[in-house]
Amino acid sequence: MKVTLDTDLCEAHGLCEASAPELFRLGDEDIVTILDDNPAPELQDAVRRAAGSCPRIAIQIAED
C-alpha cells in the first residue's frame, strides 16, 4: 500500500489524524504530514478509515 496526500485539496480538518494518529500528523500551521507512506499491514485498515473520513478526499491509496 502506498499513501499520498493531495495538499491542494487538504483543508486540515484533522480527521485523518483522529482516525490514524500513527500515520498522520496535523502540524501547528494546519499542514497534514504523512508519517509513513508505506504503512505496515496492521495499520492499513486505519489508513482506509482515515481516507474515508476525509471530507475533501485528499488522501489517495494505491494498493500493492
What pLDDT shows up at residue 59?
99
| Cell numbers placing 37 | 507512506
Dump pLDDT digits (tens) for 14-61: 999 999 999 999 999 999 999 999 999 999 999 999 999 999 999 999
The more confident residue out of 64 and 12 is: 12
Q: C-alpha dihedral over 25, 27, 30, 36, to 10 degrees?
A: -30
Cα three-residue angle 34-45-37, rounded to 5 degrees? 25
Note if the pTM is more than 0.85.
Answer: yes
SS3 17: helix
Beta bridge pairs of residue 3: 61
Query: Under CATH, what is the fold of the domain 2-62?
Result: Alpha-Beta Plaits (3.30.70)
What pLDDT shows up at residue 1?
98
What pLDDT shows up at residue 32?
97
Residue type, 9: L
Per-residue pLDDT band at 64 (split at 50, 70, 90): confident
